[in-house]
Chain A
Amino acid sequence: MALPAFDDIGMLSPADIPDPAASAPPGGSSARSPVCRAAGLGLAAVARVLAGASVRWIASQPDTCQRIYFANHTSHLDALVIWSSLPQAVREVTRPVAAKDYWSRGIVRRWLATEVFDAILIDRTDIKVHHSPVDLMLREAGTTHSLIVFPEGGRSVTGEIGEFKSGLYYLAKKRPEIELVPVHIDNLNRVLPRGEFLPVPLLSCISFGPPLWLERGEAKLDFLARARRAVMALKE
């Protein structure tokens, strides 16, 4: 098993890591109202029944330690279903990273994203060096929150897992001590395909794999390929 590669280059110094209490956004889990909590519980239950998701932990255990879950992206339901498959204590500290253009449209979606899932919304149209989503994610995650990310950057059309974008590498490089947990989502693209808004209640399967870390001196493309293989390995 790979050990965390503590590499000074690119690693945030403790001073860079904001104090979670000070940086907690208004919708943060500490400030979540009972209504939002109840909605979260209800929604998790509905999502699990509707998506018929069976959850497997393969050589891996649920834990509230800081993690980055990275998964293949097939459907708008992905983040919701992964989030629902986590035990409640883990769910409380886990924040999906989602596309702003989808999740801030309409009152219900915006409320769900900001109040219930406590999602970190990324503006895909406005990605610049000084405004990097990786920094935003790490700032929002602080030292306590786990993240759910989709390194393909968009939903796959064919059902095949696309090449991973480099965001996952920079996340791993800046915070090498965080566990990177591969997640494979099976069959959700049939539950809610691209361009549809009504789900069909088929059965799906969410598999969590053993955590991995960026190896010392591992090249970007090698790491991204290894991470992608880790997701694909969970297919069976």
Chain B
Amino acid sequence: MNDPRTIALITSVLALLTAATGVGQFLKRHPDRGLDAAAVRTFNLRLRGWWILCTVLAAAFWLGTTATVVLFGLVSFWALREFITLTPTRKGDHRALFWVFFLFTPLHYVLVGLNRYDIFSVFLPVYATLFVLTRVAVAGDFKRFLERTAKIQAGLVVCVYCLSFAPALLQIPIGSADGAGHSANFRLLFFLILLVQFADCMQYVWSRMLGQRLVAPAVSSSRTWEGLLGSAASTALLAAVLWWAAPPFQPWQAALAGLVVAIMGFAGGMTMSAIKRDRGVKDYGTLVVGHGGVLDRIDSMCFAAPVFYHVTLLVTGVRP
């Protein structure tokens, strides 16, 4: 962990967060600057979230690959909980759900931890699907059968399968190219998380500044085409500037990864908005009062992780 690039990355992130916290506190103390007080509060809350995120990630990275895989596994489990809680299920789904939570989700993360790409890449999309279809059919309730099984399937793919590609980045053999061993993989994962967060932020900033044309007003009242383009461009730029932190990339490859992450993050946000709109809730945190919504935090990540993973394989030519 003490190679120069890792230190440089940690220092940049710490400097950025400290500077942002300073600005946030300054704005909070000087409400007369003409800035929207609610926006300042949101900004400060977000910052607090990032400090927590960075601390937890640093602890997990320090503890190693297994700890990081377990951490992501727990996040997946919790997100799936929120997803299924929000989705109406029938009693006939109960047994299938039990196995989904207590067998398929943990076993998938075990396969990720063991670096069995050949199995984990098909385990949930194929075998869990077959199981869920069969188990629900055997339970004997055929009402809205396809709809119910599709919901469970969508939850598994988004919350568990897609998200698990983030810790799977730790298993790609790129360390040798960089000469930094395992810390190169951690930098790659952190690079992805940074880009996802940054893209989310930029989307908001560009929408506020230039937003004119809403992409789908009925689904999201804040996501605009200008926000998407602005976020894609700025994220690609940031990725190109930070290319040295992500081991296998040339600057143009990093920019491509940034572009893809921004677009996929947008896709994740839109998808989750559509589901929430359909269920009539504002965010997953309020569907059961008192719970902070994990799914609200990770929707962009879920969509970006698998694409980032495969882009990395594609442009660098390494095999999992």
Residues of A within 8 A of B (CB): 52, 54-56, 186-187, 190, 193, 196, 198-205, 207
A203, B82: Cβ atoms under 8 Å?
yes
Closest to A206 in B: B290
Q: For residue B81, which residues in chain A have a CB less than 8 angstroms away from its CB?
A: 52, 201-203
Does chain A have a CB within 8 A of B220? no
How far is B3's CA from A17's CA once the two chains are assembled, in angstroms?
75
When A52-B291, A54-B289, A205-B290 are in contact, do A200 and B91 touch as well, CB less than 8 Å?
Answer: no
Closest to B290 in A: A54
B89, A190: Cβ atoms under 8 Å?
yes
- A92 to chain B minimum Cβ distance, whole angstroms, is 24
Q: For residue A203, which residues in chain B have a CB less than 8 angstroms away from its CB?
A: 81-82, 85, 287-288, 291
17 contacts across the A-B interface (CB closer than 8 A): A52-B291, A54-B291, A55-B290, A187-B288, A190-B85, A193-B91, A196-B94, A200-B94, A200-B98, A201-B81, A201-B101, A202-B81, A202-B84, A203-B291, A204-B288, A205-B290, A207-B289
Q: For residue B290, which residues in chain A have a CB less than 8 angstroms away from its CB?
A: 54-56, 205
- A24 to chain B minimum Cβ distance, whole angstroms, is 36
Does chain A have a CB within 8 A of B95? yes
Does chain A have a CB within 8 A of B97? yes
Q: For residue B289, which residues in chain A have a CB less than 8 angstroms away from its CB?
A: 54, 56, 205, 207
A198: contacting residue among B84, B85, B95, B291, CB under 8 A: B95
Q: For residue B288, which residues in chain A have a CB less than 8 angstroms away from its CB?
A: 52, 54, 186-187, 203-205
- B230 to chain A minimum Cβ distance, whole angstroms, is 36
Interface positions, chain B 261-320, Cβ under 8 Å from A, are 287-291
How far is B97's CA from A200's CA once the two chains are assembled, in angstroms?
7
Q: Chain A binding site: helix, strand, loop or mixed by DSSP?
A: loop
How far is B155's CA from A202's CA once the two chains are assembled, in angstroms?
13
How far is B85's CA from A4's CA once the two chains are assembled, in angstroms?
40
Q: For residue A201, which residues in chain B have a CB less than 8 angstroms away from its CB?
A: 77, 81, 101
- A233 to chain B minimum Cβ distance, whole angstroms, is 14
A200, B101: Cβ atoms under 8 Å?
yes
How far is B98's CA from A54's CA once the two chains are assembled, in angstroms?
21
Q: For residue B101, which residues in chain A have a CB less than 8 angstroms away from its CB?
A: 200-201
Interface residue tally for chain B (C-beta within 8 Å): 17
- Residue among A52, A186, A190, A199 with max Cβ neighbours from chain B (10 Å): A190
Closest to B97 in A: A200
How far is B135's CA from A198's CA once the two chains are assembled, in angstroms?
15
Q: For residue B77, which residues in chain A have a CB less than 8 angstroms away from its CB?
A: 201
* Supplied contacts A52-B288, A187-B85, A200-B98, 14 more A-B pairs, CB within 8 Å: A54-B289, A55-B290, A56-B289, A193-B91, A193-B94, A196-B91, A198-B98, A199-B98, A200-B94, A200-B97, A201-B81, A203-B287, A203-B291, A205-B288
How far is B284's CA from A202's CA once the two chains are assembled, in angstroms?
13
Q: For residue B287, which residues in chain A have a CB less than 8 angstroms away from its CB?
A: 203
How far is B31's CA from A31's CA once the two chains are assembled, in angstroms?
59
Closest to A54 in B: B290
How far is B291's CA from A56's CA once the two chains are assembled, in angstroms?
11
- Residue among A55, A187, A200 with max Cβ neighbours from chain B (10 Å): A200
How far is B291's CA from A203's CA once the two chains are assembled, in angstroms?
9
How would residues 61 to 94 of chain B score, 1 for a CB under 8 Å from any chain A CB and 0 otherwise? 0000000000000000100011011000101001
- B219 to chain A minimum Cβ distance, whole angstroms, is 24
Q: For residue B291, which residues in chain A have a CB less than 8 angstroms away from its CB?
A: 52, 54, 203
How would residues 1 to 37 of chain B score, 1 for a CB under 8 Å from any chain A CB and 0 otherwise? 0000000000000000000000000000000000000
How far is B104's CA from A200's CA once the two chains are assembled, in angstroms?
13
How far is B91's CA from A207's CA once the two chains are assembled, in angstroms?
24
How far is B43's CA from A154's CA once the two chains are assembled, in angstroms?
49
How far is B102's CA from A199's CA once the two chains are assembled, in angstroms?
10
Q: For residue A56, which residues in chain B have a CB less than 8 angstroms away from its CB?
A: 289-290
- B20 to chain A minimum Cβ distance, whole angstroms, is 31
- Residue among A55, A186, A203 with max Cβ neighbours from chain B (10 Å): A203
- Residue among A52, A199, A201, A207 with max Cβ neighbours from chain B (10 Å): A201
How far is B289's CA from A190's CA once the two chains are assembled, in angstroms?
16
How would residues 210 to 249 of chain B score, 1 for a CB under 8 Å from any chain A CB and 0 otherwise? 0000000000000000000000000000000000000000
Closest to B100 in A: A200
- A60 to chain B minimum Cβ distance, whole angstroms, is 15
Q: For residue A193, which residues in chain B have a CB less than 8 angstroms away from its CB?
A: 91, 94
- B22 to chain A minimum Cβ distance, whole angstroms, is 34
How far is B84's CA from A57's CA once the two chains are assembled, in angstroms?
26
Q: For residue B84, which residues in chain A have a CB less than 8 angstroms away from its CB?
A: 200, 202
Q: For residue B97, which residues in chain A have a CB less than 8 angstroms away from its CB?
A: 200
Query: Would you list the 3 A-B pairs with minimal beta carbon distance, nearest first?
Result: A54-B290, A203-B288, A200-B97
- A187 to chain B minimum Cβ distance, whole angstroms, is 7
- B74 to chain A minimum Cβ distance, whole angstroms, is 11
How far is B91's CA from A193's CA once the two chains are assembled, in angstroms?
7
How far is B165's CA from A104's CA once the two chains are assembled, in angstroms?
48
How far is B290's CA from A205's CA once the two chains are assembled, in angstroms?
8
How far is B241's CA from A176's CA once the two chains are assembled, in angstroms?
73
- A235 to chain B minimum Cβ distance, whole angstroms, is 10
How far is B49's CA from A108's CA once the two chains are assembled, in angstroms?
43
